[in-house]
Chain A
Amino acid sequence: QSVLTQPPSVSGARGQRVTISCTGSSSNIGANHDVHWYQQLPGTVPKLLIYGYSNRPSGVPDRFSGSKSGTSASLAITGLQAEDEADYYCQSYDRRLSGWVFGGGTKLTVL
């Protein structure tokens, strides 16, 4: 059971918009600890997609965006492309556990 809860899977057609939620608690996201998002393509290591809720590292398309509300965060992907098919993970710091925690991951399928 992950400290941060994500839906196991989401899907969307090419060109559409999808969102992936990351639900935490008052000891992590609700305590204003940063949320970061990672994309893991099949057979590769996770790649940083969004840091600090909504900042994109250089090279990440602006089709990817992040936001936060209360004890949850969201990743939005617009203009879905086939190459977006991957697993997506949120990550934050948990003050109760005194360590960094990940969501369980969401598998995105592009139809």
Chain B
Amino acid sequence: QVQLQQSGPGLLKPSQTLSLTCAISGDSVSSNSAAWNWIRQSPSRGLEWLGRTYYRSKWYNDYAVSVKSRITIKPDTSRNQFSLQLNSVTPEDTAVYYCVKGFDDGVYYYFDDNWGQGTLVTVSS
């Protein structure tokens, strides 16, 4: 049974850096049939995919165009976890942030039922 446990601060000031970590149990961040995503949800923007990291003989990253200049997602194989860093946050980045496992069997890629508990991140001066 896969479990994702998020950690990180929930209150930031504008221009600061958002940093969250997602610890994986029951699976491996280096799995060849998974990708590890960050998705956020807010009333104004709905569900928004931010990016992912995955391993297929080497590490890859994909990022949403909307945050590409500000985002970094990194795997940590020694701790079996992955992290999100979002620079120069503004109040528009206020949302609930989720780490999510993406299932990939080479035919389908979807977000399966393994989500972190969510972290409400508020950006306010």
Name A's B-contacting residues (CB within 8 A): 2, 34, 36, 38, 45-48, 51-52, 55, 57, 89, 91, 93, 97-105
Q: Digitize B54-73: 1 where CB-to-A-CB distance is under 8 Å, 0 elsewhere.
A: 00000000111100000000
Residue of B46, B98, B110, B112 with most chain A CB atoms under a 10 A cut-off: B110
Q: Are A97 and B64 in contact (CB under 8 A)?
A: yes
Distance, CA A93 to CA B102, complexed state (A) = 13
Closest to B37 in A: A100
Q: Digitize B90-111: 1 where CB-to-A-CB distance is under 8 Å, 0 elsewhere.
A: 0000000010000000011111
CB neighbours (8 Å) of A36 from chain B are 110-111
A60 vs chain B, min Cβ distance (A): 11
* Total A-B residue contacts, Cβ distance less than 8 Å: 51
Using A46-B111, A102-B49 as known contacts, list a sample of 6 further A-B pairs with CB atoms less than 8 Å apart, ordered by residue number in A: A38-B111, A48-B110, A52-B108, A98-B65, A103-B46, A105-B46
User: Can you list 19 A-B pairs, Cβ within 8 angstroms, ordered by A?
Assistant: A34-B109, A36-B111, A38-B111, A46-B111, A48-B110, A48-B112, A48-B113, A51-B110, A55-B108, A57-B112, A57-B113, A89-B46, A91-B110, A97-B64, A97-B65, A98-B62, A99-B63, A99-B64, A102-B46
CB < 8 Å: which of B49, B98, B108, B112 contacts A100? B49
CB neighbours (8 Å) of B107 from chain A are 52
Name B's A-contacting residues (CB within 8 A): 46-49, 62-65, 98, 107-113, 115, 118
Q: Are B46 and A45 in contact (CB under 8 A)?
A: no
Distance, CA A46 to CA B47, complexed state (A) = 10
Distance, CA A97 to CA B50, complexed state (A) = 12
CB neighbours (8 Å) of B115 from chain A are 45-46
A42 vs chain B, min Cβ distance (A): 13
CB neighbours (8 Å) of A97 from chain B are 64-65
A45 vs chain B, min Cβ distance (A): 4
A69 vs chain B, min Cβ distance (A): 20
Q: Are B111 and A101 in contact (CB under 8 A)?
A: no
A7 vs chain B, min Cβ distance (A): 14
Distance, CA A64 to CA B47, complexed state (A) = 22
Q: Are A102 and B48 in contact (CB under 8 A)?
A: yes
Q: Are B62 and A99 in contact (CB under 8 A)?
A: yes
B105 vs chain A, min Cβ distance (A): 10
